[in-house]
Chains A and B, each alone.
Chain A
Amino acid sequence: MALTLGLLVATSPFLLAHHSFSAEYDSNQPVKVTGTVTRVDWQNPHIWFFLDVKDEQGKVSNWGFSGAPPGVLQRRGISRDSLKAGDVVVVEGFRARDGSNNASGGKVTFADGRSVFTASNEDKAPR
């Protein structure tokens, strides 16, 4: 499992339209990690899911990622069973402003490339 920080080309941040994205996440700090899901909080205002991520030295740290609101996901047919403890996923997002191991998680795929969920087009910034 790999931990890659700050190596992605910065793209438009996925906005989740609950808070001002910029109040919580740093669009200059893209994050891409692969890890094993340890917990899913299927709660408002956004779901959170947590991954154990191993760095190059083999040290495991737990990361938290914010996803879309549960109602938004359910309306797209994505249920709380879509992501379970033990799943291995790749998450792309933007790191929390406080520098902690937390980030937005706008794009989530399984290890084989299947999409778990993403922010929708309408969540993206129009300008």
Chain B
Amino acid sequence: MSKIQTNVAALATVLAVVLVAMLNAQSKPVAQIPRAADGKPDLSGMWDNPKEPGSRAPATVFDKAKMAPFAPGGEALFYEPRTGDPRHDEPRAFCMPSGFPSAFLGPYPVQLIQTPQYLVMSTEFMNVTRIVPLDGRPHKTDIEPTFYGEPVGRWEGDTLVIEGRNYKRWSLDDWYYQNPKEYRMHSEAFHSIERLRRVDADTIAYEFTVDDPKIFTKPWSVQWEMKRHPEWEKTGLYEMVCNENNRCEGGKCRDSK
């Protein structure tokens, strides 16, 4: 083989490799996700509660490596000392609301129902339902703050962005924080930002951002994921009524009779 022939052969080989790579890149299947009639990704279905991606450990709001520095006075607002009074120290033990996002982080299914106008997010835990308008309406003004806040959603391409405001100061703890001296709260300036993206048929990538300017110098985010469980469609969510038989309310148990 002459030198020219060798070079041509080498070039042809390189071109072939490049061509195959380009074809592969083009033909690589884009994750097939269900879409609604309006073309938006359809998030409807039965989902497991948010978990840590990969490890599938229970999701925590707090990753100290990701938390922003405290604003002046923020640390004192964030860490609420336990006082020994169970009504103050763990109001959830008296069936008081968990608040957001805590209610959605316990090991219970979450059902999502999507229409062009609304996303309904319902968790079996405490039967909490969030109704998220998707029509671009602004947040309300001059309303009383609430435990679960006021969510408003919008689509940014295939990502659903939900911003929550109008929260009252309440626990920001997940269910696994057992510090005997303090628990963690958000202020009434808490502004939550969720970004939900259905990355494949069975997974929602879920980014949760804490923006609380009274506590932190800047917003900070953690990443979770939700997995679909079509087998739960059959039974749907079970009823959960906290006050039905809350026998050890606040640590004082009722007599067994």
Contact A44 B240 (CB under 8 A): yes
A41 on the interface (CB 8 Å rule)? yes
Contact A126 B57 (CB under 8 A): yes
Contact B245 A102 (CB under 8 A): no
Chain A residues within 8 Å of B251, by CB: 23-24, 96-98
Contact B239 A19 (CB under 8 A): no
Using known A-B contacts A21-B178, A100-B253, A120-B107, determine if residue A43 contacts B245 with beta carbons closer than 8 Å: yes
B83 on the interface (CB 8 Å rule)? no
B180 on the interface (CB 8 Å rule)? yes
What's the minimum C-beta distance from B123 to chain A, rounded to whole angstroms? 11
Q: How far is the CA of A43 from the CA of B232 in the complex (A)?
A: 20
Q: How far is the CA of A96 from the CA of B59 in the complex (A)?
A: 27
Residues of A within 8 A of B (CB): 15, 17-25, 41, 43-46, 48, 50, 62-64, 66, 69-72, 74-75, 96-98, 100-102, 120, 122-123, 125-127
Contact B250 A122 (CB under 8 A): no
Interface residues of B in 238-257 (CB under 8 A from A): 238-242, 244-248, 250-253, 256-257
Chain B residues within 8 Å of A70, by CB: 238
Using known A-B contacts A22-B178, A22-B180, A75-B235, determine if residue A64 contacts B253 with beta carbons closer than 8 Å: yes
Contact A71 B256 (CB under 8 A): no
Contact A125 B253 (CB under 8 A): no
Q: How far is the CA of A123 from the CA of B125 in the complex (A)?
A: 13
Chain A residues within 8 Å of B253, by CB: 24, 64, 96, 98, 100, 102
Contact B175 A20 (CB under 8 A): yes
Residues of B within 8 A of A (CB): 57-58, 60, 86, 89-90, 92-93, 95, 106-109, 124-125, 173, 175-178, 180, 232, 235, 237-242, 244-248, 250-253, 256-257
Q: How far is the CA of A122 from the CA of B224 in the complex (A)?
A: 15
Q: How far is the CA of A18 from the CA of B232 in the complex (A)?
A: 20
Q: Is the interface of B mostly helix, strand, loop or mixed?
A: loop
Number of A-B contacts (CB under 8 A): 109
Using known A-B contacts A23-B251, A48-B247, A66-B248, determine if residue A125 contacts B176 with beta carbons closer than 8 Å: yes
Contact A62 B256 (CB under 8 A): yes
Chain B residues within 8 Å of A101, by CB: 256
Contact A19 B245 (CB under 8 A): no
Q: How far is the CA of A46 from the CA of B95 in the complex (A)?
A: 12
Most buried by A among B124, B177, B178, B237: B178
Most buried by B among A70, A96, A122: A122
Q: List 8 A-B contacts (CB under 8 A).
A: A20-B177, A24-B251, A44-B244, A45-B95, A72-B107, A75-B232, A96-B251, A98-B251
Using known A-B contacts A20-B93, A71-B124, A72-B108, determine if residue A127 contacts B238 with beta carbons closer than 8 Å: no
Q: How far is the CA of A18 from the CA of B128 in the complex (A)?
A: 13
Of B90, B242, B256, which contacts A23 at CB under 8 A?
B90
Of B95, B180, B246, B248, which contacts A96 at CB under 8 A?
B248
Q: 9 closest Cβ contacts across the A-B interface?
A: A71-B238, A23-B90, A43-B245, A102-B253, A17-B106, A19-B93, A23-B93, A64-B256, A122-B107
Q: How far is the CA of A69 from the CA of B175 in the complex (A)?
A: 15
Contact A123 B107 (CB under 8 A): yes
Contact A102 B247 (CB under 8 A): yes
